[in-house]
Structure 1
Amino acid sequence: MSRPLAAVPVYSMRITGWVSAVAAFAVAVAVLLACYWRTVQSLAWAWAHDGTYQYAFLIFPLSLWTAFGLRHQLQANPPVPSVWGLAAMAALVFVWYAGRLLDVNLAQHFAFVALFPALVLACWGWRALWVLAFPLGYLVVFAVPWGDALVGPLQDITAHFSVRALELIGVPVLLNGREILTPSAVWLVAEACSGVKFFIACTALGCLYAYLMYRRWWKRAVFVVLAAVTPVVANGLRVCFTVLIGETWGLKYATGTDHMIFGWQFFGTVLLLLLLAGWFFRDPLVVPEQPPAHGGMPASARTVVWLVAFALLIAGPSLASGLAPPAPPQTMRLTAPAIAGWSGPQAAADGWRPIFRGAAGQVRVSYQSVTGGDVVELFHAVYTGKPRRGHTLITYGNDLYDSAHAQILSSASRRVELADGRSTTVGELRLAGATGSRLVWYWYCVDRRCTRSPALTKLLQAWSVLQGQVPRSSVWALSSSVAGDDADRVRTKLHAFAQVLPVPGASGVQAQQPAVLAGSQP
């Protein structure tokens, strides 16, 4: 008996629909890579030059591999392109364009990666997006370099955890910020000891492992939580064991190459035990049943949606190419002001050196109190115009200290009254370096609006640019060395200095050279 003729059109429609849909998606990906190639290079550079994100080179292949394994579920229904995908693409192209306009790499990286799920929705529809939810979500979460903000909190958690563990063992120990004081040495939980690399990589591997090994949602959730908590606990134990080794057998066994080998062996063992523990609770592999096919979309409608998607991809780089080339950076000669009650300015010592590249002008000087003889160092850097590559206040590489010669012991916020009666919140860093401990107070200004938050500074710059203004951004920082337990006295000294520091913008100096520190807009 011959096969019913009614089955032929359904099968043919399903295959034909997916062939054209896959071809459209492939073209869209090619357009995406070609138009956003600079963003691709920037993303790859971040992966390659920051050890925290080197694992990210595997994220795209792993996402593609898991998506390929779901191809049969995709073919169960014909593609139904969605206009909501076009809306998502338009929003992401705008985010990318704003990031390009303001030289914010994170916005460009996120928008580029998030365009892949938006393209799936636009080219294949909601059903396909649901089927591919894990590989697409995995791509967005772990391919974008977002973990820098975790370094400080992980350092604090590691320091507190290891000190509590040492106290339980009976080792005499004190905690000073991120310094661990024992009878034989002072141990600093530096940025490299935060465990952020192991944390992000282990969490990424844990998410993939949970997806492949479990079918019940609660098992997946439990394992992902374990994969996130285990590296934090393991890093605290690693620091505890390192200190214990140094106290028991000598510092030479707890530092240098032995320290690195022990760390990698310890993390490798912990990861292996985590995966083995998860293996015993794996679910049996179940092949999901394919739901019945539903009606598709007319070929003409699909073609219109795909053409609009191509146009949206091209729109962002086309608009960016039409931007006027950035004006050459304005050079400003900043002159340090005279401050009542303080002698100076004088040349600053080399113990503290902020790094702000591409500034239109910067000055670093020191002052000495007329009454007490205390020394305060002042740093000020100014950036003119909208943020652009090589001339950006908040960017990778610009920092309030040289990380090669100092580390953060602790951070906090302080409320400070300025000379004109205004008050603002400043950031406080407690640094430890070769020249000893010191306090740094800092704040950023965009025109006359000041904040300690780098993110809010970026938003203020963006608002200025969108309003058609030419922002002037700056960083102010005060620093003084700390001896022993006189941190509170140093804070009082810095507050007194800030209260008499001439108010930015008070004398209305024009944007010409030379500019005077006391009268220039921040």
Structure 2
Amino acid sequence: MLSKPEGREARNRLTLPQPGPTGSASAGSSIGLDRERLTLAVAGAGILLLLLLFRGTAGSIVRLWYDDNAYSHGFLILPIAGWLVWQRRAALLAAAPRPTVWGLLPLAAAATAWLMAQVVSVQMVSQFALAAMIDALALTLLGFRAFRVLAFPALFLFAAVPFGQGVTPQLQAWTANIAVQALRAVGTPVFQDGLQITTPIGNFAVADECSGLRFLTATITLAILFASEFYRTWARRAAFLVLAIVIPIVSNGLRVFTVILLAHAFGLEFAASVDHVIYGWVFLTLVTGVLLLIGWSFREAPAAATAPRPADRSTTRRPARDALVAAGAFGILIAATATDGALARIPGPIADLALPAAGAPLDAAAIQALPWQPKLPGADARRVDQELVDGRPVTRVVAYYAWQRQGAKAASDAANLAPDDWTRLSFGKADVSIDGQSVAVQRLVVAHGRQHWLIYAWYWVDDRFTGSAAASKLLQIRGLLAGRNAGAAIVMAAPFDGNESPAEAERALTRALAQQEGLSRALAHAGSM
């Protein structure tokens, strides 16, 4: 009869290793993890290679972080994204990353968007396309299951792209309007002329730096991170993001309102020093704290933590197929950069820039002596004319681009219709007729001391005039399909005294515009490809 084993002998028998399938499974799992770590390493190296290939676009993002305080928070985006990935490392390995051929489709779409943005010189679209290419490459090299683990860090990368430059004028207008309404609510006499606020103590202008763009972009970035960590439902995330947009805009208007009140109570110099040295930072920090407290009040309990479920590693891996997918991904990226480089080398000779005008072109000395000049960088040819209309000088500046490209395009983010030290008093649209075409041109009033200028600005692209930068890009794409890529930025301006209405300057510009017959035809013959 058999008896039960007892004592140390029994324990030794129980702990003897069992040969057979278990040992094989353990070895296979170890090999699988090694392959997955290698896949992650290849993906990381691939992203570094992508940044090297598209270093021009990546560098433009970093330069904006450095040059513009509104985007300086961008330096924190990559470390935060890296930390978010590190938090998910166990789930990422459990997802058994492996390349998928289906990722090549979004990668090709993002690379095409980048190339088109380069061709039509839309820097912000190029930058967003770069972020999309990083995400699409990660999807291609890691697969759908692993990419789902990285979904939020991947989307958070888009916050690194500087955005919002185009809304600065609107933010200025909202800031001025909120400040004026608040002043009227407390009984302070106030007169508003666009961005200029006049009170009994003096004039205040809402400059670009007062638009609140820096605070808004930083707050939106913080809100995205906060919402991802403390909310599970999309409704609460969306509600918090709306608050993160509305509260900074309203707060910035109230900041200007309070500065004006301080000026009334203690003087302009004191109000300016408080605003720039103490009040701005303290106030905005308090607003951020209030926003986070509001968000914290309706936070959701975190989901119950669960161990990541290991993926099925029984599927046979095919190294040759995976290598082909990776090669296809890098082939797409190299093709995009090579095509962009080839297009950038296309020359654009200038034949002539003979344009219709009642007056004669100004010489270099006269141009240098002009009190007002627009900044229109990268032009292949430039002409400045001036004529007298009812005794008022009307100046026209034409910047011509034989082949529009990055840094040399009709509608450029780097363009500026007035010197940096001039104050923008109002902006909007004016419906005019130019060379037989009805155009809604940009209308701007700027001031430098008592000298005011009324400015009209518009673009010529693909034989059409437009006052919209976005429309000029669409016209440029249409022209490219026919082999044309020339463009021009046209600016006309007339001065008037600060004590008079701009109506007389408006009439002078209208009469000068009536003399632009043949302008489109002359621009069409100015250069050849």
* Residues matched between the structures, number: 504
Q: Residue 382 and residue 19 in structure 1: after superposition, are their counterparts in 2 closer, same or farther (change >3 A)?
A: same
| 1:322-471 matched pairs, under 5 angstroms | 322-323=342-343, 325-327=345-347, 330=350, 337-338=357-358, 350-369=370-389, 372-384=390-402, 386-402=403-419, 404-419=420-435, 421-469=436-484, 471=486
Tell me, in whole angstroms, the C-alpha distance in 2 between the residues paired with 1:82 and 1:323.
Answer: 31
- 1:147 maps to 2:164: yes
- 1:477 maps to 2:492: yes
- The aligned residue for residue 179 of structure 2 is 162
- The aligned residue for residue 211 of structure 1 is 228
TM superposition shift of 1:263: 0.9
Amino acid at match of 1:417: S
Q: Which runs of 5+ in 1 are unaligned?
A: 513-520
Q: Residue 28 and residue 479 in structure 1: after superposition, are their counterparts in 2 closer, same or farther (change >3 A)?
A: same
Q: Residue 9 and residue 77 in structure 1: after superposition, are their counterparts in 2 closer, same or farther (change >3 A)?
A: farther
- 1:275 maps to 2:295: no
Name which of structure 1's ranges 274-283 and 490-499 shifts more when overlaid on structure 2. Answer: 274-283
Identity %: 31
Q: Residue 4 and residue 287 in structure 1: after superposition, are their counterparts in 2 closer, same or farther (change >3 A)?
A: farther
Name which of structure 1's ranges 173-182 and 329-338 shifts more when overlaid on structure 2. Answer: 329-338
TM superposition shift of 1:267: 0.8
Query: Does the Cα contact within 8 Å between 2:374 and 2:418 map onto a contact in 1?
Result: yes
Q: TM-score, normalising length from structure 2? A: 0.86
Name which of structure 1's ranges 87-96 and 488-497 shifts more when overlaid on structure 2. Answer: 488-497
Instruction: Give the superposed CA RMSD.
Output: 3.0
Q: Residue 204 and residue 507 in structure 1: after superposition, are their counterparts in 2 closer, same or farther (change >3 A)?
A: closer
Q: Which digits, 9 at most, give the CA deviation of each residue in 1:329-351, with x for residues without a partner?
A: 64856577226xxx998957633
Q: Which digits, 9 at most, give the CA deviation of each residue in 1:6-53, with x for residues without a partner?
A: 854774475245223212212311321222223222221121111111
Name which of structure 1's ranges 196-205 and 424-433 shifts more when overlaid on structure 2. Answer: 424-433
Q: Residue 171 and residue 288 in structure 1: after superposition, are their counterparts in 2 closer, same or farther (change >3 A)?
A: farther
Q: Which runs of 5+ in 2 are unaligned?
A: 1-13
Query: Does the Cα contact within 8 Å between 1:120 and 1:128 map onto a contact in 2?
Result: no
1:254 aligned counterpart, secondary structure = helix
Q: Residue 507 and residue 8 in structure 1: after superposition, are their counterparts in 2 closer, same or farther (change >3 A)?
A: closer
Q: Residue 344 and residue 131 in structure 1: after superposition, are their counterparts in 2 closer, same or farther (change >3 A)?
A: closer
TM superposition shift of 1:359: 2.0
TM superposition shift of 1:78: 2.1
| 1:3-402 matched pairs, under 5 angstroms | 5=22, 8=26, 11-12=29-30, 14-140=32-158, 142-256=159-273, 259-285=276-302, 286-291=304-309, 293-294=311-312, 296=315, 298-300=317-319, 301-323=321-343, 325-327=345-347, 330=350, 337-338=357-358, 350-369=370-389, 372-384=390-402, 386-402=403-419
Tell me, in whole angstroms, the C-alpha distance in 2 between the residues paired with 1:473 and 1:297.
Answer: 59
TM superposition shift of 1:266: 1.1
TM superposition shift of 1:498: 1.1
Q: Residue 75 and residue 242 in structure 1: after superposition, are their counterparts in 2 closer, same or farther (change >3 A)?
A: same
TM superposition shift of 1:81: 3.1
Amino acid at match of 2:134: F
Amino acid at match of 1:97: L
Higher helix fraction: Structure 1 or Structure 2?
Answer: 2
Q: TM-score, normalising length from structure 1? A: 0.87
Query: Does the Cα contact within 8 Å between 1:443 and 1:451 map onto a contact in 2?
Result: yes
Tell me, in whole angstroms, the C-alpha distance in 2 between the residues paired with 1:509 and 1:53.
Answer: 39
TM superposition shift of 1:162: 0.9
